[in-house]
């Protein structure tokens, strides 16, 4: 899971309609849409936004760009998305490895905190510079302070995509035991790029 804490998410739902009222219904161009995402601090990485933002819009006959998805229509499902999520995540059988990536030291809810202290999943935290590293819940947490930390938000996978990708590759390499035992020591695996290519080949992902 990437930057999801059930308790925080559920509490934020009460402000969701007010937030939706602040969102422009359309933009005169994709460039304006990208700039709005950056200026609103939804995204902090312009390069990533140039890839992700255009797919959120469709062009109208008048040449404007409107959202493909009307988030208000999803309101009946908001609570179902999050309520019970932490308990379900932690209760996934231990034979299945689990990873939670957070942008900063968000307060883990009860189920996540207990699960993490019991070693039920791996937690990677990309610390925000305003937060104290001592707030880390347990020594099992992997903290990754970086010069990017002041520019992290909810879309951490877009704000620092290479670091998140490296964390995912590391997670899979350490937990896919059969793959690691047969490939990690191979002379063909000399870098993370080689490892990612090997994973892509295993999973049938084309470049």
Q: SS3 for 76?
A: helix
Q: How many domains does the chain have?
A: 2
Residues 41 and 116 grouped into a single domain = yes
First to last CA, the chain: 24
Residues 132 and 191 grouped into a single domain = no
Work out the number of other CB atoms within 10 angstroms of the CB of residue 79.
12
Work out the number of other CB atoms within 10 angstroms of the CB of residue 146.
13
> Which candidate, 112, 121, 125, 134, places its Cα nearest to that of 152?
125
Would you say 6 and 111 are in contact if contact means Cβ atoms under 8 Å apart?
yes
Query: Which residues are 58's β-sheet partners?
Result: 66
33 within some domain:
yes
Q: Print the domain residue range for 203.
A: 176-207
What is the per-residue pLDDT across 148-165, written as a single tens digit (0 to 9) for each?
A: 445 677 788 998 888 888
DSSP label of 108: P
Residues 108 and 196 grouped into a single domain = no
- List the structure tokens of 1: 């899971």
What is the per-residue pLDDT across 113-141, written as a single tens digit (0 to 9) for each?
A: 999 899 999 998 886 544 343 333 333 44
Token pair 């988030």 is found at 71
171 within some domain:
no
* Residuewise pLDDT in 10s, the chain (207 residues): 999 999 999 999 999 999 999 999 999 999 999 999 999 989 989 999 999 999 999 999 999 999 999 999 999 999 999 999 999 999 999 889 999 998 876 678 999 999 989 999 999 888 654 434 333 333 344 555 444 445 677 788 998 888 888 888 888 878 876 655 555 444 555 666 776 677 777 667 765
Residues 2 and 87 grouped into a single domain = yes
Residues 95 and 135 grouped into a single domain = yes
Q: SS3 for 26?
A: strand
Residues 124 and 40 grouped into a single domain = yes
Residues 88 and 28 grouped into a single domain = yes
Residues 198 and 109 grouped into a single domain = no
Work out the number of other CB atoms within 10 angstroms of the CB of residue 155.
20
18 within some domain:
yes
Would you say 33 and 99 are in contact if contact means Cβ atoms under 8 Å apart?
no
Would you say 66 and 60 are in contact if contact means Cβ atoms under 8 Å apart?
yes
Check which CATH number belongs to the domain holding 41 and give it: 3.40.50.1820
Residues 122 and 206 grouped into a single domain = no
């Amino acid at each position: 899971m990437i930057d999801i804490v059930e308790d925080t998410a559920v509490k934020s739902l009460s402000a969701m309609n007010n937030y939706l009222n602040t969102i422009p219904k359309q933009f005169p161009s994709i460039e304006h849409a990208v700039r709005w995402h950056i200026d609103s601090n939804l995204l902090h990485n312009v390069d990533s936004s140039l890839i992700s933002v255009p797919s959120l819009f469709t062009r109208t006959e008048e040449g404007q760009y409107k959202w493909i998805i009307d988030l208000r229509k999803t309101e009946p499902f908001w609570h179902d998305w999050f309520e019970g999520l932490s308990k379900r995540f932690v209760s996934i059988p231990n034979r299945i490895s689990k990873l939670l990536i957070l942008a900063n030291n968000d307060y883990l809810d009860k189920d996540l905190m207990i699960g993490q202290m019991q070693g039920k999943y791996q937690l990677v935290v990309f610390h925000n510079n305003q937060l104290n590293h001592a707030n880390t819940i347990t020594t099992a947490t992997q903290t990754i302070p970086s010069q990017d930390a002041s520019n992290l938000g909810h879309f951490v996978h877009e704000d620092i995509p290479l670091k998140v990708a490296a964390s995912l590759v590391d997670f899979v390499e350490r937990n896919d035991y059969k793959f690691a035992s047969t490939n990690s020591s191979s002379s063909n695996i000399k870098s993370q790029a080689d490892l990612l290519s090997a994973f892509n080949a295993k999973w049938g992902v084309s470049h």
